[in-house]
Structure 1
Amino acid sequence: MSFGSPSRRRTGRVLVATTLAATAVLSLPAVAEAKVTRYRQGSASDVSRPAWSGPAYTMNGSGAVVPATMTKAVDAIRGGSGSIDVTVLAASAASGSPTPECDVIMGLPNVNSCTTYVLTSTQDASNSQVNTDVRNSEFVYFAGGNQCNYARWKGTPLQASVQSVVAKGGGVGGGSAGHHINSSVVYDACTASTDSATALANPYDRSVTFTTGMFSWPNYGDTVNDSHFVSRDRMGRTMAFVARALKDGLTSSGKAWGVGVEEGGSLFVDKNGLATLSAEDAYVVLGDHQPEQAASGKPLTFSNFKIWRLTPGSTYDFANRPTCGYYTRSVVNGVADSNLYSGTPVC
């Protein structure tokens, strides 16, 4: 998440006047005076066909769309023919262009339309036009910002609408906050944003809070995502997230996998669970046993996290999770081992 930092803002190039003139900007009625803003680019009519070839996912370390993985997702969903419709969901307005994600997506092949929604209230998630557009699309992209806003959509019609896109063979993705919301255990930061030192010193600090039961995508269960991973030194806090997920029974397997993606990096995950990394490094952090110490007000102790470092072009199979290729790092009384971001694989 980029809450409390300069990159909290969704950024993108400024639209030229002719593009703005071609973009539909509507204020749609919603409950209790909430304002829903809609920007439509591309065709005014949605694609219609009986079946799609996904699901497919993009998991980005920062808010921006990564063309390489987005193109893979489009191709996977369309199955070699036709084009798709994309919906971007944002909880805050962007600086510069109001549609930075769609500006990129509309430049990719085989995209019929891209619709951006800015939803400023939890009640907006019940707006009928929003839900119609989401259900009619084949890919939903969650913009960067504050993932707590997305977590508040749990239990709303919009949660079910996004799930329906994946169920019909479409896809979903997001960057930064949009990456966080797509794991099965969501670090929601609804009280405050934490850092590695704080989370390791007390994994039950008020800044370490989670949402579960929102999305659990096929082959991607028992995960907790993190973003801006190396540049903001977030390995330590991901270790704390994994320990909390295990201690609190938030996963179903007795194991938890942290998935940290660096700024500019992106994982494309296909329908079989195979993830391929583009642009920057990513890390998978496995906790496969209970922490030795994880209690309120006490520093974390956890031995032998298993860590896979992924470099651009490498893969990780979430359907058949590997048992080799990792290095190990531990935390003792809130102090993590040195050199957390590289190591010699043990097998």
Structure 2
Amino acid sequence: MSLFAKLSAFLVRGRTRLFFSGAVLAACLLSGVAVAASPAPVAEGDGYRYYAIGDLAAARPGPVEPGLMLVGGGEWPYDAFRWMIARAGHGHIVVLRASGAAEAQDEFYNAIGGIASAQTFVFSDRKAASDPAVLAAIAAADGIFIAGGDQSNYVRYWKDTPLGAALDRHVREGKPLGGTSAGLAILGAWTYGAMDGGSMTSEVALRDPLDPGMTLVGDFLHLPYLEQVITDSHFARRDRLGRLVAFVARLRSDGVAGAVGLGIDEGAALCIDGDGVGRLYPGDQDGFAWLVRPTQPPARVVRGQPLEFSDVQVTGIGADSRLRLPGLEVQAPAFEKVARASGGELVLRDAAPFAPATSR
């Protein structure tokens, strides 16, 4: 039987889940559809590498449900990933990234388990974001996860492309989407794009909120409940409260009246269900999510001068808290503080029962 005859038979008797390019389909078919993990890609397309593990033709065991999983980077909090897997109906996960290889898909399938298959597309060129094989896999995915790396690649490769629209559509269809580190950075209505190749520090951002490295990107993804949010990752470990306050000040000064910041600690994840209720999974390091909400406009956002910004509410979201969106109500906050940026420094006051390390 020819390859095309095998393909036709496979599509007829299967769920017609996947429509890859000929190279990808051939690799899947020749391996019997159940694809084993390998350090080498299953196939390569125009501007991407493709990996897969599991039974790509298996029926999804359960129904899908909406959900957003915001992971702060570092070690995965497996309970949060199990939450996402359950919302994907224990079906088929697609991992998107612009560096690395099959590490995330293998962790999904082997270390966590409970899914039928996982596939990975590693992007190296913007043209892959219009590839029919990539778009077909995204359309068929039960859940999508965006890995870490360099978020500037995601902006360059995906913004204003069919892939970006496909991610929005995936969420509108009531399917879960997650991201960690750089993958978290692009989930908000605005993204710190790191477009200059660097990584903005709190020190520089507070000293000059209009520094050329403050590359904020809008109109990328358009996800429910994050319409006013800019996200940040590796939060307490990398002392990023100052830069998130500066990001929010910059947006507010640019006329985004409702802009707020949401930072996630390394090893933690905030999972938001279809009703807009967010629950924190703190991970092994007992991390938090940090909600940054101004009570008034910034007093000074001027090129080359320190940020002046007072009465910025900083609310900690812990394992016992609940964040209710879009109203930004936090039930049982882990801590509550007020921040003031002045003279290039950030000062916190009104100590809560828990004093995070970055309050020093």
Between the aligned partners of 2:117 and 2:330, the Cα distance in structure 1 is: 41
Equivalent residue number for residue 57 of structure 2: 45
CA contact (8 A) 2:337 2:348 kept: no
Pick from 23, 38, 43 the counterpart of residue 26 of structure 1.
43
Between the aligned partners of 2:151 and 2:269, the Cα distance in structure 1 is: 18
CA contact (8 A) 2:271 2:278 kept: yes
| CA distances 1:18-76 after superposition (whole Å, capped 9, x unpaired) | 95459861012x2xxx3x11001111226479x95422111111155432112112223
Tell me, what secondary structure is at the counterpart of 1:275? strand
Letter in 2 for 1:210: L
Pick from 200, 213, 224 the counterpart of residue 207 of structure 1.
213
Matches within 5 A, 1:165-244: 165-191=170-196, 192-244=198-250
Between the aligned partners of 1:46 and 1:203, the Cα distance in structure 2 is: 51
Cα RMSD, aligned residues only: 2.4
| CA distances 1:281-313 after superposition (whole Å, capped 9, x unpaired) | 221111242100011111100011111112234
Matches within 5 A, 1:125-144: 125-144=129-148
Quickly say closer, same or farther: Cα 1:133–1:60, change in 2 above 3 A: same
Pick from 116, 119, 126 the counterpart of residue 120 of structure 2.
116
Quickly say closer, same or farther: Cα 1:64–1:57, change in 2 above 3 A: farther
| CA distances 1:287-342 after superposition (whole Å, capped 9, x unpaired) | 242100011111100011111112234221123322785321111232211579x6
Task: Verify: 1:327 aligned to 2:333, yes or no.
Answer: no
Equivalent residue number for residue 16 of structure 2: none
Equivalent residue number for residue 147 of structure 1: 151
State TM-score, norm by structure 2.
Answer: 0.80
> 1:139 Cα deviation (Å)?
1.3
Letter in 1 for 2:344: G
Larger-Rg structure:
2
> 1:178 Cα deviation (Å)?
0.5
CA contact (8 A) 1:236 1:336 kept: yes
Between the aligned partners of 2:186 and 2:330, the Cα distance in structure 1 is: 26
Letter in 1 for 2:43: L
Q: Which runs of 5+ in 1 are unaligned?
A: 1-17
Tell me, what secondary structure is at the counterpart of 2:133? helix
| CA distances 1:109-166 after superposition (whole Å, capped 9, x unpaired) | 5411110111011222111111111111021111111101111211111111111211
CA contact (8 A) 1:46 1:137 kept: no
CA contact (8 A) 1:64 1:101 kept: no
Equivalent residue number for residue 317 of structure 2: 310
State TM-score, norm by structure 1.
Answer: 0.83
| CA distances 1:149-207 after superposition (whole Å, capped 9, x unpaired) | 11121111111111121111111111110010101110101013210000000001011
Pairs aligned (count) = 310
Task: Verify: 1:258 aligned to 2:261, yes or no.
Answer: yes
Between the aligned partners of 1:199 and 1:60, the Cα distance in structure 2 is: 23
Between the aligned partners of 1:21 and 1:159, the Cα distance in structure 2 is: 28
Identity of aligned residues (%): 27
Quickly say closer, same or farther: Cα 1:271–1:323, change in 2 above 3 A: closer
Between the aligned partners of 2:305 and 2:352, the Cα distance in structure 1 is: 28
Between the aligned partners of 1:149 and 1:227, the Cα distance in structure 2 is: 17
CA contact (8 A) 1:60 1:261 kept: yes
Tell me, what secondary structure is at the counterpart of 1:103? helix
Equivalent residue number for residue 103 of structure 2: 100
Q: Which runs of 5+ in 2 are unaligned?
A: 1-34, 355-360
